[in-house]
Amino acid sequence: MQRIATVSVSVIRRTQALLSGLPFRCSVFNLGFRPFFFLAGAFATLVIPLWLAIFTGLGSAPSYLGSVGWHAHEMLFGYTMAVVAGFLLTAVRNWTGLPTPSGPLLAGLALLWLSARFMLFSTAVAPAWLVAVIDVSFLPAIAGVLLPPLWRSRNRRNLVFPFILLALAGANLVIHLQALGMLASGSDRALQFTLNAVTLIMVVIGGRVIPVFTANALPEIRVRRLVWADVLAVGLVILVLVIDLFPVLHASVGPVALLAAAANLIRMWRWRSLATRCVPMLWILHLGHAWIVVALALKGLAGLVPAVMPSAAVHALTVGAIGSLTLGMMSRVALGHTGRVIVASTPIIAAFIVINVSAIIRVVIPIAVPGFYLPGLIVAGLLWSSAFALFIIHYTPILMQPRIDGKPG
């Protein structure tokens, strides 16, 4: 482990030395959240309307992943991983007190992500194997720059995150290998693993920050964390992840998912979620976590209630939980790390509402009114993208300009 960290530090220093002479300096590359939150927001604004055009026959995705495969892959490895990268590159600096990539090296990481997005949509621009290499290399690159500060600071609590990123890179590799014809199967399981791993990240990070943010903003209420509920909530989500990896265990995933939903609901009960209803920067995070509970419950019910399709759980997680939590965290982090007061503006409150309406439509319509599936899909997709359009319009100046308090970052 120490040798890996030492090699990573050496590579980073040499790369920074090579890139330090590049003739540009921009605030957007001061800290990881800036470029990756901007790219994630812009991507979310554009990619869903593009997917809707493809799905309704108005266009085609020339990706070797296929149209549905491209959509699933890009929402997880495109949008979600951009947010995860931006968050971790920023958080690790706070956790360790050591620098994370900035300037040209950060720009290179952002360019690597962006190159993969363009090349995956139009694989005619490069050989398929090269597209796969570029896309798969992004998460190991992020893991490689996070590991040295975590290791040097002995931050064992968060040392797991680079290895989660490497596991996700392995899942991404499986998807590409099947698309290239080098594996007969595995893509579906890799996508499910990725979704479960993202759920685990949300449950872990959410369990740490949501009660703290709530207690700090509302000191008059008593927010209590139940250690046993936290351990149970995380442990059962890990168990769901493991069960989904092995088809022979699939019969047990329903009951375990229901238990995971119950455990996460219990710990939310101690967070005093209803007390946050007048604080948008808080209730968006509580609602996002509530969508995890809904998704786990739907996953458990899918095998028991014929009307509940497995896709309902998927979209509760992606449209609801990932959408709400990432939008809420990006909005919060961008204000806090640019020296601004963490208060949601009117357009961002509207975005918070719109993204949850989108999730309700996407989850409920196929179950309650299946005849309106396509109109519901289109409306939900356009609402989801419009929420991120509001984010981009409001936050682009914030992400591009220096901190208002003159501090670095």
DSSP type of residue 322:
I
pLDDT value for 250 = 87
Q: How far apart are CA 33 and CA 41, in angstroms?
A: 12
Domain 186-401: which CATH class? mainly alpha
Tally helices (H) and strands (E) across the chain. Answer: 15, 0
Of 388, 298, 399, the residue nearest 348 (C-alpha): 388
pLDDT value for 10 = 53
Taking a C-beta distance cutoff of 8 angstroms, is the pair 163, 143 a contact? yes
Compute the C-alpha angle 213/216/219, nearest 5°. Answer: 130
φ/ψ region of 57 (left if φ > 0, alpha if ψ in -120 to 50, else beta) reads: left
Burial code (b: 16+ CB inside 10 Å, e: under 16) for 245-283 equals eeeeeeeebbebbbbbbbbbbbbbeebbbebbeebbbbb
Write out the chain's pLDDT in tens, 409 residues: 555 445 444 544 554 444 444 444 468 999 999 999 999 999 999 999 999 999 998 887 767 888 899 999 999 999 999 999 999 999 999 999 999 999 999 999 999 999 999 999 887 778 999 999 999 999 999 999 999 999 999 998 999 999 999 999 999 999 999 999 999 999 999 999 999 999 999 999 999 999 999 999 999 888 888 899 999 999 999 999 999 999 899 889 999 999 999 999 999 998 999 999 999 999 999 999 999 999 999 999 997 888 889 999 999 999 999 999 999 999 999 999 999 999 999 999 999 999 999 999 999 999 999 999 999 999 999 999 999 999 999 999 999 999 998 888 7
pLDDT value for 64 = 84
Residues of the chain with CATH 1.20.210.10: 186-401
Taking a C-beta distance cutoff of 8 angstroms, is the pair 47, 74 a contact? yes
Q: Which amino acid is at 265?
A: L
pLDDT value for 3 = 52
pLDDT value for 406 = 83
Taking a C-beta distance cutoff of 8 angstroms, is the pair 69, 174 a contact? no
